[in-house]
Amino acid sequence: MLLGVIADDFTGASDIANTLAKGGMATVQFVGVPGKSAPADCEAGVVALKTRSIAASDAVAQSLAALEWLKAQGCRQFLFKYCSTFDSTPEGNIGPVAEALLAALDAPSAVVCPVFPTTGRTLYMGHLFVNGRLLSESGMEKHPLNPMTDPDIGRWLARQTRVGVGLVSYPTVRAGAEAIRAGLDRETAAGRRLIVADAIVDEDLFSLGEALDGAVLITGGSGIALGLPRNFERQGLLGGAAAKVPAVTGPGCALSGSCSTATQAQVAAYAAGHPTLTILPGDLVEGRMSVAEALGFVETNLADLPMVTSTAAPETVSAAQDQYGREMVAGAIETFFGELAAGLVAKGVRRLAVGGGETSGAVITALHLDTLRIGGEIDPGVPALVSDGDPMLGLALKSGNFGATDFFEKALRAMETP
């Protein structure tokens, strides 16, 4: 294995696995830190963790365990993948994990670049924009778990870490790989070891990728991986094996726990054509809704690709959080979706399209899957996945903010014809 990725959530893991596979690397997504060696032909390994919204110390411990495993697989470069909207709180977990990885690898510095132009994430003078709006005015300021209220990524990151935070700004990035390398060296020499890098278009990310050839540690969204396969290719290290995934047929179901603006529209579009059960957090907490009841609903409607969703508008989310507490609500919903997914597979469901990073994490964890193979791209940043093992499952793990309005429909169909 050449490149080892540590991803802080499951949708993010499939997002970067998709980028690397499209870039020509034989890529495998691992669910958690594997207990065995990677397949011999794996060139990029993505370890999917669920560390974005847990205690920083736990996130650090899990990330270091993933690093150890990736090191043992022979990786020569490591990438810490977080969200393109820099999802984190003033306590972490991006800063603490990046700091721990720097120390463990004895790396002089690491770039920090959440940019993903295809989905509208750009960074200018250290300020993150989402579809042309500052992060803090993009809807992310209302995220249920990590409201993003500051678009200045360096300032936000500095609250999370003791390491100095630097910047390689846009004029330098535009000047190309050599200028970027010099900029990174300058910041490193000045003791700023986590270095935010501006980027606006894919070309900037290719320049950054070239500049990062040989860097032991990189941090960023999936966009920062765009230019990396070329570095390995230039050195003749890639086998050129782009594995095809098998088709998965059989009953399908959509599950959605994301409350993002994009998911709200996708759920409304899907619900217009498919039987849909809407879950209210209060009903879960107070026992008025159960996994058994939801399973019954899906079974009755199995022929019509039903949906079970807790997706709700920000006012409804806040009201539930005020009444029951943020963690209680998130825990109840995630446990529900995990148990539901396990029940669905036991009842013969073979295709699952899941909306939301934490929600996907809960589902994949409950299904006890080991490895996921990367299929075709459904929408930017979201590949179709096929799980190894018996039964083989078709999956799509959609980041809250990704996907076109018809995402769920397309995702379930894509698994049948990869």
Ligand X SMILES: Nc1ncnc2c1ncn2[C@@H]1O[C@H](COP(=O)(O)OP(=O)(O)O)[C@@H](O)[C@H]1O
Q: Which stretch binds ligand LB5GJZVW (CB under 6 A): 82-90, 93-101, 165-173, 236-244?
A: 82-90
Note whether 229 binds ligand LB5GJZVW by CB under 6 A: no
Per CB under 6 A, 265 contacts ligand X: no
C-beta closer to ligand LB5GJZVW: residue 77 or 85: 85
Residue 333 in contact with residue 258, Cβ under 8 Å? no
Residue 222 binds ligand LB5GJZVW, judged by CB under 6 A: yes
What span, in angstroms and rounded, lies between the C-alpha atoms of 395 and 56? 29
Q: How far is the CB of 359 from ligand X (least distance, A)?
A: 4
- Alpha helix (H) residue ranges in 135-280: 153-158, 170-174, 177-189, 202-211, 228-234, 261-271
Give which of 337, 358, 400, 406 is closest to 378, Cα–Cα. 406
CB-based burial, 342-379: b 16+ in 10 Å, e otherwise: bbbbeeebbbbbbbbbbbbbbbbbbbebebbbbbeebb
State the minimum distance, in angstroms, from the CB of residue 116 to ligand LB5GJZVW. Answer: 6
166 binds, among ligand X, ligand LB5GJZVW, none (CB under 5 to 8 A by kind): none
- From 69, 97, 92, select the one nearest 81 (Cα to Cα): 97
Q: Are 372 and 386 in contact (CB under 8 A)?
A: yes
Nearer to ligand X, 4 or 357 (CB): 357
Give the three-state DSSP class for 371.
strand
Q: Where are the beta strands (DSSP E) in 233-388?
A: 252-256, 276-278, 307-309, 351-355, 371-379, 382-387
Q: Whose Cβ is closer to ligand LB5GJZVW: residue 17's or residue 238's?
A: 17
For 375-380, the CB contacts below 8 A with 24+ separation are: 375/244, 375/245, 375/414, 375/415, 375/418, 376/414, 376/418, 377/18, 377/22, 378/403, 378/407, 378/410, 378/411, 378/414, 379/403, 379/404, 379/407, 379/410, 380/118, 380/119
Q: What is d(CA 411, CA 290) in angstroms, rounded to the nearest whole number?
A: 26
Which two structure tokens, joined as six digits, stand for 25? Answer: 């690397």
* Residue 394 contacts which entry, ligand LB5GJZVW, ligand X, none (Cβ below 5-8 A, type-dependent): none
Work out whether strand 127-130 and strand 133-134 pair parallel, antiparallel, or are unpaired. Answer: antiparallel
Applying CB under 6 A, the span of 77-85, 280-288, 345-353, 364-372 interacting with ligand LB5GJZVW comes to 77-85
Q: Does 183 bind ligand LB5GJZVW (CB under 6 A)?
A: no
Out of ligand X, ligand LB5GJZVW, none, which partner does residue 354 contact, by CB within 5 to 8 A per kind? none
Say if CB 184 and CB 192 are below 8 A apart: no
The count of chain residues that interact with ligand LB5GJZVW, using the rule CB under 6 A, is 17
What angle is formed at CA 215 by the lines to CA 121 and CA 225, rounded to 5 degrees? 30
Residue in the structure block whose two tokens are 């924009």:
129
Question: Which residue number, 83 or 194, has a Cβ lying nearer to ligand LB5GJZVW?
Answer: 83
Stretch of residues binding ligand X (CB under 6 A), selected from 65-73, 211-219, 283-291, 354-362: 354-362
- x-or-dash pattern for ligand LB5GJZVW, window 11-30, by CB under 6 A? xx--x---------------
Q: Is 403 in the site for ligand LB5GJZVW (CB under 6 A)?
A: no
Nearer to ligand LB5GJZVW, 129 or 289 (CB): 129
Q: Is 284 in the site for ligand X (CB under 6 A)?
A: no
> Which residue is nearest to ligand X, using beta carbons?
400
Which one, 290 or 405, has the nearer CB to ligand LB5GJZVW?
405
What does the DSSP assignment read for 194-234? EEEE-B-SHHHHHHHHHHTTT-SEEEESGGGGTTHHHHHHH
Q: How far apart are CA 272 and CA 400, in angstroms?
A: 20
Token reading at 341: 């997914």
- Per CB under 6 A, does 400 bind ligand LB5GJZVW? yes
Pick the piece of the chain touching ligand X (CB under 6 A) from 119-127, 195-203, 257-265, 290-298: 257-265
- The interface partner of residue 379, options being ligand X, ligand LB5GJZVW, none and the CB cut-off 5 to 8 Å by kind, is none
Residue 357 in the binding site for ligand X (CB under 6 A): yes
Question: Per CB under 6 A, does 83 bind ligand LB5GJZVW?
Answer: yes
Residues that bind ligand X (CB under 6 A): 144-145, 257-260, 263, 281, 310, 312, 316-317, 320-321, 329-330, 333-334, 356-359, 399-400
Residues that bind ligand LB5GJZVW (CB under 6 A): 9, 11-12, 15, 83-85, 87, 116, 221-222, 356-357, 381, 399-401
